Amino acid sequence: MDPNRFIARHIVTLPKSGIRDFFEIVAKMKDVISLGIGEPDFTTPWHIREAAIYALEKGKTHYTSNLGLIELRRAICNYVGRNYGVHYQPESEVLVTVGVSEAIDIALRALVNPGDKVMFHQPCYVSYHPSVTLTHGIGVAVPTHAADNFALTAAALSAAWQPGCKLLMLNLPCNPTGGTCSREQLEQIARFCIEKDLLVISDEIYSELTFEGGHVSIGSLRGMQERTIFLHGFSKAFAMTGWRIGYACGPAPLIDAMMKVHQYSMMCASVISQEAAIEALVRGEDGVKRMREQYHRRRDLVVRRFNEIGLKCHLPRGSFYAFPSVAATGLGEREFAFGLLEKERVAMVPGTAFGENGRGFVRASFATGYEKLVEACTRIERFVQGLRR
Ligand code: PLP
């Protein structure tokens, strides 16, 4: 008997993540400096870990409300109001999720009817397009370009728009490009969304890691709070990837719709992680600042070195990723990444893992110690010089 015939058609054709393939090869090699990792090299600050230990000591081992602990939802509303200028009600407009990953999944499952079109800027996070496909929606990629520092422009959005578009997924600052939008650009995008009646799913997971210019949340712009679902979490800024905790804020009817999917699939996020998340929001901002300063210093190093080496690289204003072009080497992004790995043992992710618009680029994560980044750049330089000979 062939078990394959039981698998749903849309799963059979769903591609596996391009990052996974690459890292299965990396995992088998020795002495690799990986600039491929999408998570902080920092361990969660001690006071946050301690809050979780203390919660366990107190016997906090039970399910919570499906929406999440009310103390956490209150802390989220305070944090988001203070830092993003968007104000939500903890009783009805906040849902605690298992990371931003779950929040993306349940937002799409709650909103997308089969055949609905969902726009997202690309290069983008690897899960966006597959998550749309899983809900039987149709993904509409909007290209962003190095010439615009990978900011999404209203002009590109307008050119890609088609009848049937219902949602726009935004990720600013963006994984993998580090690109983000100025207030003016965001205002133009907001006007376009209102004109075309688009609802925005705004994934702001890297927002605290904005190095200059400040972060603007689209939900804070006039007329946008009512058409925005704000997604955020703890993985990146608080170095809490393994805790699997995040949240969604938005208009009560939309949060209620997402809650229905959440209660039947997840029930609730881990209580221990929720307790730790309260501590992160209430007392964690100094730690975030310290980590941001480290990322900032590393960003300046890698971007300067990539440009010196001849890998043209825009300045990512946020996140912990740089997205240099490999065009000047004459190699494609996969050839470059595999060649570099084989010859110099440095791992970077081929840009096409983030969609067709990543062609000709590679993603370098600088969530790696400064000295290792210095060494990685030396190896990359040697590899590029070797190609010229
Ligand atoms: N959104 C973006 C843009 C990401 O880069 C990631 C992780 O890399 C996620 C969401 C998933 O985050 P979480 O760990 O909160 O599920």
- Chain segment 139-192, per-residue pLDDT in tens: 999 999 999 999 999 999 999 999 999 999 999 999 999 999 999 999 999 999
Nearest CA to ligand 1 atom 7: 38
d(CA 306, CA 324): 7
Contact 247, 67 (CB under 8 A): no
Supply 357's token pair.
Answer: 């618009």
List ligand 1's pocket residues with C-beta within 6 A: 38, 99-101, 125, 171, 175, 203, 205, 233, 235, 241, 246
Virtual torsion, Cα 296, 291, 81, 219, nearest 10 deg: 40
Mutate to test the pocket of ligand 1, among 76, 235, 266 (most ligand atoms within 8 A of CB): 235
Nearest CA to ligand 1 atom 8: 38
Ligand 1: atom nearest CA of 103 is 16
Contact 307, 365 (CB under 8 A): no
Cβ-based neighbours of 346, under 8 Å, separated by 6 or more? 32, 33, 34, 35, 340, 376, 379, 380, 383
| Ligand 1 geometric centre to CA of 243 (Å) | 12
For 82-133, write each residue's pLDDT tens digit.
999 999 999 999 999 999 999 999 999 999 999 999 999 999 999 999 999 9
| Ligand 1 geometric centre to CA of 377 (Å) | 26
The mean-pLDDT minimum among 22-26, 67-71, 114-118, 205-209 falls in 22-26
User: In the predicted model, what is the mean pLDDT of the chain?
Assistant: 96
- pLDDT at site 27: 87
Nearest CA to ligand 1 atom 2: 125
Paired residues of 167 in beta bridges: 118, 199
Contact 364, 354 (CB under 8 A): no
16: pLDDT confidence band, cut at 50, 70 and 90? confident
- pTM score of the predicted model: 0.96
- pLDDT at site 151: 97
Mutate to test the pocket of ligand 1, among 100, 131, 274 (most ligand atoms within 8 A of CB): 100
